[in-house]
Structure 1
Amino acid sequence: MASRDGSGQSQRAGPRSPSRAIIDIGSNTVRLVIYGGPQRAPEILHNEKVAARLGKGVAENGLLSEKASTAALVSLRRYRALLDLIGVRTVDVVATAAVRDARNGAAFLDEVRAIGFAPRLLSGEEEAVTSAHGVTGAFPDAHGVVGDLGGGSLELVDVDGGSCTHGVSMPLGTLRLPALRADGDRAFAKRIGNALDRAEWRATPGTTLYLVGGSLRAFARYAMVRSEWPIDDPHGFELPAAAALKFARTLARRKGLSPVPIAGVSGSRLTGLPDTAALLAVLVRKLEPARLVFSSWGLREGVLWEAMPTAVRTQDPLVAGVSAFINDQGISPSTGTMVAGWTASARPAGSGGRHEQLRLAATMLSLASARIEPNLRADHARDWALRKRWIGITARERAMLAAAIIANAGKMELPPTLTALLSPAALREAQAWGLATRLCRRFTYAMPQGLSASTLTVEGDTLVLAVAPGLAELVNEGVSRDLKALAAHLGLKQDVR
């Protein structure tokens, strides 16, 4: 439930102003996240948590322990004071498995209300569906099964685009796994299988399993390190099921051993990683997915998604995020759209569809990269493509963005680790986007008057730059050189008219 100012309306905020907050009272942590930026691609401005471990006592005796409750309430009082200090008026507070399952959960929520929050206790199905909405918000074409592993429970739900069905919550959270594994992995696998059977859960073999939760992202980071993956953000990381099963079995056998450090993974996550891997191994065997996709969007983003107007939900999340980003860099998104339209003909035959949104994003980032000082430009722009937290994008598409931005800087060579993510056709297409943007920048400085008084088209076997008489002086040696490079890349002749 959202709390607002006295008028009943959210405070108006600038694009980077803190506009909304989510507090997630989970079984392991109590977390506050403050968001700004565009609705469709919200930006995290502040993120903090306290490991209250509310679910530990619930797993042991069905009660929230006094120690855990006190830690949670102390953190919530800080969050209340901080939100009031910052001026965030729209705040959603959700409680999940630990509070839901605890015999003293209702009394705990009364204390939360006394602090000034209006907590919403999610049912198991609501928790599953809300997490799934977070995944479909990040991956609009998601089709398969979402699995969200928290401290107290595991949620599974079928997803098909924006549709979510058959949501279930099972008491298989990370805080419960050590006890479930105490009798050995064979008994553990049987218990997990029995839980799936009781939930009447079945998945279509060969589907995609989308995974949510900090413990599962820690597993993803382990797999990324072992695979020498060139991208370090686990969001959108894809892993074939066979490889995931191999990694999971290896990690599960490390129970009781000193954890191996993994960049970006806390000590507490490392300690519990063998149990998480053991659960994942059983899920992969039982559900028989073809691949696993890891998502940083889950329950909290699902809460945001459910509050979005339909018109916002239908926006492309990558384009929305990039538009807001380049606007902060001093480039109007409308300019990016105009340049993408001007360069539309300069692409390989057969491209289109989803690649049009990707080409628009690449064009926008290429324009923004020109604002970076030259000695920093290549590294900064490449990091934008590969490391910034975009949503609605795969690793392969990140590599295409990087290839386009680098080509926009006049460079065509990429590290082997990056080109390994791309087919030759995808690489050439992305480089064409960058070369076309480079031509446009040099020719008109991406000014609307210049774009409207010229065209770039393919006529037969020739790439033609048609220029109105008043702009003929803009065609110099550099423009001719860029036109020739683009035409050669496309296998065409070039002409200026």
Structure 2
Amino acid sequence: MLDATGQRADLTGLHQELDPDEVLAADHTHYAVIDIGSNSVRLVVYNDLGRAPLPRFNEKSLCGLGSGLDKTGELAAGPMACTVQAAHRFCAIAEAMGASRIDIIATEAVRRATNGESLIKAIRERTGRDLRLLSGSEEAHFATLGVISGFYRPKGLVGDMGGGSLEVAEALEDRVGERSVSLPLGALPVEAMLEDSAESAKRQIDEVMKGQLPPLLTKPVFYAVGGGWRALARAHMEAVNAPLKVAHGYDVDANDLRSFAKSVWKMTPDKISALPGVPGRRAKTLPAAALVMDRLLKNLRPERVVFSALGLREGWLYSRLSPTLRRRDPLIEGAQAFGLPIARVPAFAPALVRWTESLFPDETAGERRLRLAACALSDMAWADHADVKAHQCFARVVHFPFIGLTHTERVFIAATLHARYGGKPDDACLQPALSLLTPAVQRRAQILGRAMQLGHRFSGSVPGILDMARLRITADAVRLEVAEGSEDVPDSDAVQMRMKQLAKILGVPKTEFAGA
């Protein structure tokens, strides 16, 4: 994989450990990207240039820069003026927010227009900043990097449908594959095709795709990027009453999604506007997004479609990271960046990782990263009222913009923290999201959460105390062993109660408290 300087990055072996000192010492210098697309100009100001970027501010201006481009070959004066003004305003906002760097990138409309250079010059004169015009292959590259940054070693084809074009490329865990294509199948040109008839548009799209799409030679997964497709995902989530209504990581059977997409692009405008979950501003472009999705799935024949909230802008940001930062696990980085600064004792999270290390003898690498993330978040609700800690913690985690995890993994972490704060397994707030977990995984979340709760209570969230103890699980007992010289470790009723709760979930008859 090439970074922004053209150098190949070595991403073998992700770094997956908690580091409170580094997290607390981090300099959160904001980073801004202004993305000039065929339909909108968008500003995103990120908290910092890091492995788990968190948007602090996100706004767009619908300038319609690519409107009429197919007929005239030029950018119209009105949309050009709107774009220049939006770029100027967004630069001012980013500067006022203290962004240390502001990158302006432009895509298909500016690239195709005969007067694109005039717009670039006008933006440079108005903002005092240079603009990077991306080629079609660069669009595909950075959109795919966005998916690589947002998931845990993704494999499959990535499609990014924007206002003017559709880019398709390969994601190969930590790099972009060699096969990619940029097609004139964005929302605006497809909307123009649909003005004649849906069947005519379908034939035109098939003709454009014919012989140009890269073959799906990796895992049979298609990663969908772009606002139009996220709107389609939200409509589908509502239609099937999905247990968790989060667009990023939404995983759908490709045949089911294709059937739904076909039904959408055949709907009347009134029916589309009435679809639950579809933002009003997306109703107009939804038929185009659905039609392109339908034809793509017909041609590529993947088994699954996974939707991504990260794309071109996040890929651009990811390309600016050092190879060391790229080797960080995005889930763990995001969890500790959020959880450790608000914890009472940030250094307790690594101690909790050590405390729970032997809890599951069969733990896989994938399960370990979820345990680390849960430990990093284990003190996030300490200041909340006791009656609502478990409920609020669960609701917050299942909807927080963490990346690098599936919906099932997201619910597992949330259920673990719900148990850590004393939530009961039959709590109504867990449904319907908990239905994504098998009974065995639900039990695992309960065990980990209760062990974390015991560790916090027994040690007073003091790392040194926790490190002097060991949790041993045998066939007949939950045994808390403390090192010699730690007689001051509390053996209170509260500790005994939490040991009994853990023993009950484990199905062992008794608890013991003794010296090691």
Amino acid at match of 1:85: A
437, 445, 469: which one pairs with 1:422?
437
Of residues 325-334 and 480-489 in structure 1, the stretch that sits farther from structure 2 once superposed is 325-334
Unaligned runs of 5+ in 1: 3-12
Is the counterpart of residue 277 in structure 1 residue 290 in structure 2?
yes
1:42 Cα shift? 1.4
Residues in 1 aligned to 2:498 and 2:359: alpha-carbon distance in whole angstroms: 12
| TM-score normalized with structure 2 length | 0.89
1:329/1:371 contact within 8 Å kept: no
How far does residue 105 in structure 1 lie from its aligned partner after superposition? 0.5
TM-align CA RMSD: 2.2
- Equivalent position of 2:312 in the other structure: 299
1:143 aligns with 2:158: no
Q: In structure 1, the residue corresponding to 2:377 is in which secondary structure?
A: helix
Larger relative contact order (CA 8 Å, sep ≥ 6):
2
Letter of the 1:393 partner, please give it: L
1:408-487 maps to which residues of 2 (within 5 A)?
Answer: 408-410=420-422, 411-414=424-427, 415-459=430-474, 462-468=477-483, 469-471=485-487, 474-487=490-503
Q: Give the superposition deviation at 1:438.
A: 0.7
CA distance in 2, matches of 1:421, 1:236: 13
Moved more, 133-142 or 190-199: 190-199
In the TM superposition, what are the counterparts of 1:112-151 in structure 2 within 5 Å?
Answer: 112-114=123-125, 115-151=127-163
Q: CA deviation at 1:198?
A: 4.6
Once residues 330 and 345 of structure 2 are traced to their aligned partners in structure 1, the CA distance between those partners, rounded to angstroms, is: 17
- Following superposition, the deviation at residue 262 of structure 1 comes to 5.3
CA distance in 2, matches of 1:256, 1:482: 57
C-alpha separation in 2, matches of 1:38 and 1:372: 30
**One-letter amino acid matched to 1:181:** L
Decide whether the 8 Å contact of 1:407 with 1:431 is kept in 2: yes
Decide which moves more: 252-261 or 394-403: 252-261
Q: Distance in 2 between matches of 1:132 and 1:442?
A: 44
Separation (CA, whole Å) in 1 of partners of 2:35 and 2:302: 29
Distance in 2 separating the partners of 1:362 and 1:22? 31
2:398 to 380, 386, 389: 386
Q: Read off the aligned partner of 2:355 and give its amino acid letter.
A: W
- The residue that corresponds to 1:326 in the other structure is 339
> How big is the shift at 1:441?
1.1
Structure 2's unaligned 5+ residue stretches are: 5-23
Residue of structure 1 in register with 2:88 after alignment: 77
Letter in structure 2 aligned against 1:155: E
Contact 1:80 1:116 in 2 (8 A): no
Give 2:203's match in structure 1, choosing from 167, 187, 190.
190
Is contact 1:146-1:209 (8 Å) kept?
yes
Q: Please report the TM-score for the alignment, with normalisation by the length of structure 1.
A: 0.92
Give SS of 2:405's match.
Answer: coil
Give the stretch that moved more between structures: 301-310 or 176-185: 176-185
What is the CA-CA distance between 1:481 and the residue it aligns to?
2.2
Matched residue, 1:7: none
Cα drift, residue 296 of structure 1: 0.6
Q: Give, in angstroms, the shift of residue 258 of structure 1.
A: 4.6
> Secondary structure of 2:68's match?
helix
Q: Which amino acid aligns with 1:48?
A: E
Deviations 1:75-125 (A, max 9, x none): 111122223333323111110000001110011111111121111110000
5 Å matches for 1:229-308? Answer: 229-261=242-274, 265-308=278-321
Q: Deviations over 1:136-184 (max 9, x none)?
A: 0011311001000000000000111122121211000000112223444
- The alignment covers a number of residue pairs equal to 486
In 2, the alpha carbon distance for the partners of 1:421 and 1:130 equals 32
Pairing 1:357-368 to 2, within 5 Å after superposition: 357-368=369-380
Contact 2:459 2:466 in 1 (8 A): yes
Q: CA deviation at 1:432?
A: 1.0
2:158–2:170 CA contact under 8 A, matched in 1:
yes
Equivalent AA in structure 1 for residue 36 of structure 2: I
Q: CA deviation at 1:15?
A: 5.6
Offset of 1:64 from its aligned partner?
0.6
Name the aligned partner's letter for residue 175 of structure 2.
Answer: S
Matched, 1:374 2:391: no
- Indicate the residue corresponding to 1:62 in structure 2: 73
Cα deviation per residue 1:434-487 (whole Å; 9 max; x = unaligned)?
000111111002202211221113356543211134335501222122122213
Alignment-mate amino acid for residue 473 of structure 2: V
Distance 1:206 1:365 in 2: 32
Q: Partners in 1 of 2:477 and 2:320 — Cα distance? A: 50
Q: Tell me the equivalent position of 2:165.
A: 153
Task: Note if 1:220 corresponds to 2:248.
Answer: no
Structure 1 residue 248: deviation in Å?
0.6
Select 2:506's aligned residue among 475, 482, 490.
490
SS of 2:83's equivalent? Answer: helix
Q: For residue 72 of structure 1, what is the amino acid of its counterpart? A: T
How far apart are 1:201 and its partner, in Å? 2.9
User: What residue identity is the alignment partner of 2:461?
Assistant: A
Q: Which residue of 2 aligns with 1:8?
A: none
Look up the SS of the partner of 1:366 in the other structure. coil
2:121 corresponds to which residue? 110
Deviates more, 1:294-303 or 1:263-272: 263-272
For 2:441 and 2:451, locate their aligned partners in 1 and report how far apart those are by CA, in whole Å. Answer: 16
Over the matched positions of the two proteins, sequence identity in percent amounts to 33
Give the drift of 1:200: 5.1
